[in-house]
C-alpha cells in the first residue's frame, strides 16, 4: 500500500533515514559531535581547536583593522595634500611672493628665512640625531634635545607670524588660513615619503 506516493514501509523508515543523512551531513561539514570524534579526540582537544580558531579570527580582525587604519591615514593625508595644491594653484602664491609689489617684502623675506631654518632643523632631527643605543629604539627628541625642540617651535611660530604680515596686503583675512592649509599639506605629504 502506498501512502502519498511512498510505500508504507518506506514511510516508516523515512524519519530514521533523515536522521542518518543529517548526522552524516553534520559530520562532513565539520561540526563537532560525538560520532565525528575519533578515538584519540576528546572534548578538550575540540575546545583547544575552538580557542585556536578564535585566536586566528581575532588576529585577522586586528590585521583588517590595522589595514583599514593605514588606508584611512593615507587617504586623509592625500586629501590635505590635494587641498594644499589647489589652494596654491588658485591663490597663485609663488608668483605673489616673487613678483608682487603689494607684499610687505621685509616681513615676507624674514618669514621665509625662518621657515627654511625650521625645515632644515626638522630634517636634521629626523635624519641625523642618534636613534638610541640600537637602531630599534628611538630617543624622545623633547627630552634629549629640549633647546633644539624649543627653537624649532618658536621659529615655526615666528615664521608663520612674519609670513602672515608679509602676505596680508594681498590676501587680507585669508592669509593665515592659506598658510595653515599649505603647512598642513606639507606636513601630510611626509606620509608618502618612504
Per-residue pLDDT of the chain (194 residues; tens, 9 = 90+): 555 555 555 555 555 545 555 544 444 444 444 444 555 556 667 888 888 889 999 999 999 999 999 999 999 999 999 999 999 999 999 999 999 999 999 999 999 999 999 989 888 877 776 565 555 556 676 777 788 888 889 999 999 999 999 999 999 999 999 999 999 998 898 888 76
- What pTM, to 2 d.p., does this model score? 0.62
> Cα–Cα distance between 123 and 129 in angstroms, integer?
10
What pLDDT does residue 149 have?
84
> Cα–Cα distance between 135 and 130 in angstroms, integer?
9
What pLDDT does residue 161 have?
96
What pLDDT does residue 147 have?
85
Asked if residues 181 and 91 have their Cβ atoms less than 8 Å apart, the reply is no
What pLDDT does residue 46 have?
85
What pLDDT does residue 191 have?
86
3-state DSSP helix/strand/coil % of the chain, to nearest 5: 75, 0, 20
Amino acid at each position: 500500500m502506498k501512502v502519498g506516493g511512498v510505500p508504507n514501509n518506506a514511510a516508516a523508515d523515512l524519519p530514521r533515514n533523515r536522521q542518518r543523512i543529517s548526522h552524516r551531513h553534520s559530520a562532513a561539514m565539520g561540526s563537532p559531535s560525538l560520532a565525528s570524534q575519533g578515538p584519540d579526540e576528546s572534548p578538550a582537544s575540540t575546545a583547544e581547536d575552538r580557542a585556536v580558531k578564535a585566536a586566528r579570527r581575532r588576529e585577522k580582525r586586528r590585521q583588517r583593522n590595522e589595514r583599514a587604519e593605514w588606508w584611512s591615514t593615507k587617504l586623509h593625508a592625500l586629501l590635505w595634500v590635494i587641498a594644499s595644491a589647489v589652494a596654491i594653484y588658485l591663490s597663485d602664491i609663488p608668483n605673489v611672493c616673487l613678483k608682487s609689489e603689494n607684499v610687505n617684502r621685509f616681513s615676507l623675506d624674514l618669514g621665509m628665512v625662518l621657515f627654511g631654518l625650521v625645515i632644515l632643523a626638522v630634517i636634521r632631527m629626523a635624519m641625523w640625531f642618534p636613534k638610541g643605543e640600537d637602531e630599534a629604539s628611538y630617543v624622545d627628541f623633547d627630552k634629549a634635545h629640549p633647546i633644539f625642540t624649543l627653537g624649532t617651535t618658536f621659529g615655526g611660530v615666528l615664521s608663520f607670524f612674519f609670513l602672515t604680515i608679509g602676505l596680508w596686503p594681498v590676501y587680507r583675512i585669508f592669509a593665515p588660513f592659506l598658510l595653515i592649509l599649505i603647512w598642513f599639506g606639507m606636513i601630510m605629504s611626509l606620509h608618502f615619503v618612504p
